[in-house]
Amino acid sequence: MTATTPRLSLREFVPGMAMMQAMVAIAIDGMLPALPEIARDLTPGNPTYAQLVVTSFVLGMGIGTLFTGPLSDAFGRKPVMIGGGVLYIVAAVLIYLSPTLETVVASRFLMGLGSAGPRVVALAVIRDLYKGREMARIASFVMVVFALVPAIAPMLCAGIITLAGWRSVFFAFALFAAGVMTWYGVRQAETLALENRRAFRFGNTVHAVTEMFRHPSTRLAIFAQALSMGMLFSVLTTTQPIFDQSFGQGDNFPYWFALIAVIAATASALNARLVIRFGMRGLIRFVLTAQIGLSLFMIGAVQFDLPFIWQFATFFIWTTSVFFQTGFTVGNLNALALEPMGHIAGIGASVLTAFATVGAVVIAVPVGLAFDGTARPLAIGVLICAIAGRWIVGKIKRDGEA
């Protein structure tokens, strides 16, 4: 903390930072109930194209993540945070006014770019003000609040859709972001002192990318994380249509999704307890092996046309497992990738997140567009990713290992 930067009370600061992160979560999870209406209004001939509304946002967020960290180190936290928030709000309003799917998808990409500001800079603000265990404690409080958002966002947005239609969801996103950005602009002082700023040089980013992809364990961890996140985003883009078209649970989807989110939220806490005993690579190999087995079972449940209740129970458990494995793999793969990159840890984290997120979108788009009314294409896509990820993780060697 700089001498000129006062701290807000934790009762104000923690919810504020959590709401910054929540801007990202609601923009993904909150609009899932809107997919059927978007498909009916904008792409009735090819309803699966509505899934691009999800992946275009994630793509923009992934690309934006590569630059927001270094930009905030150069120009300060506030300009980058508020600039990203303004772009997010403008894009959400453009979606509200968009007449075609193409303009919605393009605006969602811009919205994703804007979301990278709050996504990255909120953590940097915490790092500016708090150190060591105190920083970890504050970050944990923020993540607890953030973890609850996927559980409640679809239910809230489903209510908004019922009252005012799918476009109103994006107007609500704009209002929420405007409130959060106003709070940040008025209440939170700039946390990065002028003497601590570092000039932005594009060459530094290129150098970091080159170094990370040259290091074998870092390169493999990035690929494995892209596969892990690819499984998650594939499920996110397709799970609502499957609940609706395969199982007739479209109206109840927000409640099923909330239950999945609550169960999956325990994964990170469980990982923290087990990682010391079993190691990062051991846990990743275990959960990916389990994902392979569960995905094979899911494919079999569809292929052999099990009774409805068994198919639905299998799909619910399998979907939860995909969210659950992300909680075990992403954090551990972050640590494995950045372990040899301590000298460029800040920009390295941006590079890792950006490339893994963009790679995940490359996976999720074709898997989502392959939807045929059943869970089969999704389960096959997840199975392939899990097998590839398990093989890659088996190749990761930490420095000093033969």
Q: How far is CA 61 from CA 24, 256, 304, 318, 351, in A?
A: 9, 26, 39, 27, 12
- Considering the domain architecture, whether residues 325 and 343 belong to the same structural domain is answered as yes
Q: What is the pLDDT of residue 402?
A: 47
- Considering the domain architecture, whether residues 129 and 190 belong to the same structural domain is answered as yes
- Considering the domain architecture, whether residues 183 and 218 belong to the same structural domain is answered as no
- Final residue before a domain boundary, out of 147, 182, 200: 200
Give the 3-state secondary structure of the chain: CCCCCCCCCHHHHHHHHHHHHHHHHHHHHCCHHHHHHHHHHHCCCCHHHHHHHHHHHHHHHHHHHHHHHHHHHHHCHHHHHHHHHHHHHHHHHHHHHCCCHHHHHHHHHHHHHHHHHHHHHHHHHHHHHCCHHHHHHHHHHHHHHHHHHHHHHHHHHHHHHHHHCCHHHHHHHHHHHHHHHHHHHHHCCCCCCHHHCCCCCHHHHHHHHHHHHHCHHHHHHHHHHHHHHHHHHHHHHHHHHHHHHHCCCCCCHHHHHHHHHHHHCHHHHHHHHHHHHHCHHHHHHHHHHHHHHHHHHHHHHHHCCCCHHHHHHHHHHHHHHHHHHHHHHHHHHHHHHHHHHHHHHHHHHHHHHHHHHHHHHHHHHHHHHCCCCCCHHHHHHHHHHHHHHHHHHHHCCCCCCC
Q: What is the pLDDT of residue 316?
A: 96
Question: For residues 11 and 136, what is the distance between their CA atoms, to the nearest angstrom?
Answer: 16
- Final residue before a domain boundary, out of 158, 180, 200: 200
- Considering the domain architecture, whether residues 123 and 208 belong to the same structural domain is answered as no
- Considering the domain architecture, whether residues 206 and 298 belong to the same structural domain is answered as yes
Q: What is the pLDDT of residue 348?
A: 81
- Considering the domain architecture, whether residues 241 and 286 belong to the same structural domain is answered as yes
Q: What is the pLDDT of residue 400?
A: 55
The residue segments making up the domain with residue 371 are 201-402
- Considering the domain architecture, whether residues 230 and 366 belong to the same structural domain is answered as yes
Q: What is the pLDDT of residue 144?
A: 67
Question: CATH no. for residue 304?
Answer: 1.20.1250.20
- Considering the domain architecture, whether residues 165 and 269 belong to the same structural domain is answered as no
Question: For residues 367 and 354, what is the distance between their CA atoms, to the nearest angstrom?
Answer: 20
Question: For residues 362 and 306, what is the distance between their CA atoms, to the nearest angstrom?
Answer: 32
Question: For residues 160 and 158, what is the distance between their CA atoms, to the nearest angstrom?
Answer: 5
- Final residue before a domain boundary, out of 156, 184, 200: 200
pTM listed for this prediction: 0.89
- Considering the domain architecture, whether residues 271 and 362 belong to the same structural domain is answered as yes
- Considering the domain architecture, whether residues 92 and 141 belong to the same structural domain is answered as yes
For the chain, what is the domain count?
2
- Considering the domain architecture, whether residues 213 and 113 belong to the same structural domain is answered as no
Lookup: tokens for 274:
């087990």
Rounded mean pLDDT for each run of 10 residues along the chain, 402 residues in total: 65 89 90 93 93 95 91 90 96 96 97 92 84 71 71 90 94 96 93 85 87 92 94 93 92 91 81 81 93 96 89 95 88 84 75 91 94 93 97 82 51
Q: What is the pLDDT of residue 299?
A: 95
- Considering the domain architecture, whether residues 254 and 376 belong to the same structural domain is answered as yes
